[in-house]
Structure 1
Amino acid sequence: MRADLIERYDLRVPRYTSYPTAPHFGPGVDGARYERWLGELDPATPLSLYLHVAYCAEMCWFCGCHTKATKRYAPVASYLDALLAEIELVASKLPARMAFRHIHFGGGSPTVLKPEDFTRMVEKLRANFDMLPGAEIAVELDPRTADENYVIAMARAGVTRASIGVQDFNPVVQKAINRIQPFEVTERVILWLRKHGVDAINMDLCYGLPHQTVESVVETVERGASLRPARIALFGYAHVPWMKTHQKLIPEEALPGMAERWRQYEAASARLQELGYVAIGLDHFALPDDELTLAQKKGELHRNFQGYTTDSAPALIGFGASAIGSLPQGYVANEIAIDRYREMVHAGKLPITRGIAIDADDELRRAIIERLMCDMGVDLDHIAALYGKTGASFEPELEAMAGLEADGIVRREGHRLVVTEEGKPLVRAACAVFDRYLMAGEARHSKAV
């Protein structure tokens, strides 16, 4: 990518795992409205469930998640009690017993739980919801805290996919982000997973971390790919110390500049494809026979709070402190503070403290942004027609796209937009043109590259 483009589009824009995005949620959506929205769901609607385990054994300094570090199990056990109570509370507000086709356990780190407590959590879900045939149960796994007994408990509970956090295998980088995780630790956990039948494995890697170089990132990619996970996510580190104060512990002088970040992304992406992975959307890679690859070929790729996914459930219900849910009527977000979340749940209150209702225009723009993020292009005539409009409705946005077009980031063909190969890392800048909530100079998001 040309150096002038890297500098020009060094913007802070959303990752567009939702639209409208979380910074635009407000207090107008509360527990009472959430209860009404839950009751309005069609009982036949397939659900996706997300459970947020808001604790880790220790804090990784690069982390942007809502989590707390603890060496004691008592706070974790207390939090789990509230999480189990919330599952029952939400289920009681639904119009009938409903079924799920996807569960995702995230955090924090779900592996901070004892194996028997993880089993309790899955049993509670099965007691309150039905599982559709072929449903996926996915767990984010920290190799540093998961032993073989935990993996066995996961397998017995029906877990089908594990997402392994790695970030980088270089010891210097690991020390700088406070995540000491030798390659052998990751390899051992993956061997346990495969031994016990959890064959679908994701791996998270990161570029833009302190002390990383192009050569070291490529080496990490090669070592990660040698374990042959089905999917690899290659995320750009989002340095937002004004939001996540623990990131102040990262030496800013060791962070790569924008041009270096781009070179790391470009080299890692190219190497992954040389190693047989297919590029998925902006920052995911998958083996040719993986469901994610097949979905992209069919134009059926989706994007939600977990990133690129095959999950097309129209309703996502979030459980746990800070969890976000998506319903046909809008988005809801749980209380972030763990103590307050626990108090609300035990008082029988749905712990929603913010959200946003969406209208037909939001739905249309969300569809446009999702296709751009997933397909690197969008036919505005086709998408708009699904909502009773025409592509001509977006002439102002197309005119605003002129700069991106002149710079070779997008190509316009009538009312069809195509993101060029060179422009792919900047697709979020193209999406932002359709974002009617985004204010100029917005600084609450991560950089576009």
Structure 2
Amino acid sequence: MRTDLAASYGDERLPRYTSYPTAPHFSPAIGADIYARWLSELPSGASASLYLHVPFCREMCWYCGCHTQIVRRDELVAAYQRTLLSEIAQVADGIGRRIKVEHIHFGGGTPTIVAPDAFAELMAAMRRAFFVLPSAEIAVEIDPRTLTAEMAAAMRLAGINRASLGVQSFDPVVQRAINRVQSFEQTASVVDMLRSADVAGINFDLIYGLPHQTVASCLDTVRRSLALAPSRFSVFGYAHVPGFKKHQRMIDEADLADGLARHDQACAIANALEQAGYVQIGLDHFARPDDAMAVAYEQGTLRRNFQGYTTDQGEVLLGFGASAIGRLPQGYVQNEVQIGAYQQSIADGRLATAKGYRLADDDRLRADIIERIMCEFGADLGDICARHGAEPQALLQSASRLESLISDGVVRLEGDRLAVAQDSRFLLRSVAAAFDAHLDPGRLLHSRAV
């Protein structure tokens, strides 16, 4: 790992490239009518993934960058669940047939804030509206501080087979600074509960760059986490954007690490996980060698979507809930972000689409290149351009940022094959950004590159 590169590129504000173009480029010109037409035009053999966003939590974690709000009254969650049921029916009607589903992901917020019987009702509704394959991966994000035995039992009956647990850090000093006190024992108890409920896939989410965090505290969190033997880790850098997430103002910027210190923390975590036998997957995931994600990485079939790295091969992602984003062959759609506006749209019998993006041919070309860079640490530009009827040299001439990356040794270009240097892989987002025709480096919309 090269600290000189971390100093040169680490403070850039760049997208995480879970889509291309990224969400700030979505436009209200794409609304409910266009989404309805796109749904009706889905090919007969298409399969889909489903994402359900539950934007509620019991308390706010000050580092959070999600679309969520604090709720104390369970009836508000129940009303939202009923809206989700209506939206599921609306979208299924718009497609006009029971499309195959290979992946389902519950995100948030805290999806398990939904009552156990209401959660079961959501799963039953999806199985009625869509053909959920027996082999489908059904995943849910979990706050270990709030999961109950009743909810774990409901998850078992619903067929949940993967769970992502928010861990972030086991350092009590860090936990107090981010308003998320969560003991190791509490997390271990939930892991046991999930495994007893036949949830075989366990993911841990860790964060570096949090207030008061050090290399030593990061390594202690990894050591404790490894004792619980999760099958995957996601390791993210804290994105401090208090201008967009006002609750982040509760974090004192003086307590945050600079770019070099963040780089050291990220490297320490990565090295510890690799020494423990986990395979690094792209920018920020780690998996056991026998895990489906590691297998997809080795086979060159790894993909990237709004949930991060995925084994999902489908071209259709249907998003449900406030702020949820979907992807169809024609482009992207996003629901109303405000919960009230979302619920009103569905209550009025119309899709809740607030904005989106229609993909052009150049977008599809660049999206493929960026996805391969993010998933494989490189891209065969000749092969990708050939599939899109484009010329590699013309593309390279438009990628002005690439010249400095080559001269700094971050990437190698051999013919039309681009490869990120082994010691520069932490700069994947910087390499991907070289092919981003929409990037405006003057707008501070994104997190640090390192």
Q: TM-score normalised to the size of structure 2?
A: 0.98
The alpha-carbon deviation at position 3 of structure 1 amounts to 4.0
1:366-381 matches, cutoff 5 A: 366-381=367-382
In structure 2, do the counterparts of structure 1 residues 343 and 8 end up closer, same or farther at CA, with 3 Å as the change threshold? same
Tell me the percent identity: 50
The alpha-carbon deviation at position 351 of structure 1 amounts to 0.4
1:289 aligns with 2:287: no
Aligned to 1:53: 54
| Deviation digits for residues 96-153 of structure 1 (CA, Å, limit 9, x no counterpart) | 2212010000000111111111111101111111112411110001111101111111
When the two chains are superposed, the root-mean-square deviation of aligned CA atoms in Å is 1.0
Aligned to 1:87: 88
Aligned to 1:307: 308
Aligned to 1:162: 163
| More off after superposition, 298-307 vs 399-408 | 399-408
Amino acid at match of 1:47: A
The alpha-carbon deviation at position 190 of structure 1 amounts to 0.6
| Deviation digits for residues 7-42 of structure 1 (CA, Å, limit 9, x no counterpart) | 321200100000000000011100000000000001
Unpaired runs of at least 5, structure 2: none
In structure 2, do the counterparts of structure 1 residues 24 and 398 end up closer, same or farther at CA, with 3 Å as the change threshold? closer
The alpha-carbon deviation at position 412 of structure 1 amounts to 1.1
Amino acid at match of 1:103: I
Contact 1:202–1:229 (Cα < 8 Å) also in 2: yes
Aligned to 1:424: 425
The alpha-carbon deviation at position 423 of structure 1 amounts to 1.3
In structure 2, do the counterparts of structure 1 residues 399 and 441 end up closer, same or farther at CA, with 3 Å as the change threshold? closer
Amino acid at match of 1:425: F
Cα distance in 1 for partners of 2:400, 2:64 equals 38
Contact 1:43–1:97 (Cα < 8 Å) also in 2: no
Contact 1:107–1:140 (Cα < 8 Å) also in 2: yes
Aligned to 1:388: 389
**Residue 422 of structure 1: SS of its match in structure 2?**
helix
Aligned to 1:140: 141
Aligned to 2:8: 8
Contact 1:43–1:95 (Cα < 8 Å) also in 2: no
The alpha-carbon deviation at position 359 of structure 1 amounts to 1.3
1:241 aligns with 2:242: yes
Cα distance in 2 for partners of 1:396, 1:442 equals 24
1:184-203 matches, cutoff 5 A: 184-203=185-204
Aligned to 1:363: 364
**Residue 333 of structure 1: SS of its match in structure 2?**
strand
Cα distance in 2 for partners of 1:440, 1:232 equals 30
In structure 2, do the counterparts of structure 1 residues 392 and 32 end up closer, same or farther at CA, with 3 Å as the change threshold? same
Unpaired runs of at least 5, structure 1: none
**Residue 195 of structure 2: SS of its match in structure 1?**
helix
| Deviation digits for residues 321-367 of structure 1 (CA, Å, limit 9, x no counterpart) | 00000000000000000011111100001001111000111111100
Contact 2:399–2:435 (Cα < 8 Å) also in 1: no
Contact 1:277–1:286 (Cα < 8 Å) also in 2: yes
In structure 2, do the counterparts of structure 1 residues 376 and 397 end up closer, same or farther at CA, with 3 Å as the change threshold? farther
The alpha-carbon deviation at position 398 of structure 1 amounts to 5.3
Cα distance in 2 for partners of 1:223, 1:421 equals 28
Contact 1:40–1:95 (Cα < 8 Å) also in 2: no
Aligned to 2:24: 23
Aligned to 2:256: 255
**Residue 100 of structure 1: SS of its match in structure 2?**
strand
Aligned to 1:224: 225
Cα distance in 1 for partners of 2:300, 2:252 equals 42
**Residue 442 of structure 1: SS of its match in structure 2?**
coil
Cα distance in 1 for partners of 2:398, 2:309 equals 25
**Residue 131 of structure 1: SS of its match in structure 2?**
strand
Cα distance in 1 for partners of 2:78, 2:245 equals 25
Cα distance in 2 for partners of 1:203, 1:315 equals 26
Cα distance in 2 for partners of 1:310, 1:96 equals 25
Cα distance in 1 for partners of 2:107, 2:226 equals 23
Cα distance in 2 for partners of 1:13, 1:348 equals 38
Aligned to 1:214: 215
Cα distance in 2 for partners of 1:303, 1:400 equals 23
| More off after superposition, 270-279 vs 438-447 | 438-447
Q: TM-score normalised to the size of structure 1?
A: 0.98
Contact 1:13–1:442 (Cα < 8 Å) also in 2: no
Aligned to 2:71: 70
The alignment covers a number of residue pairs equal to 449
Contact 2:335–2:342 (Cα < 8 Å) also in 1: yes
Cα distance in 2 for partners of 1:74, 1:102 equals 29
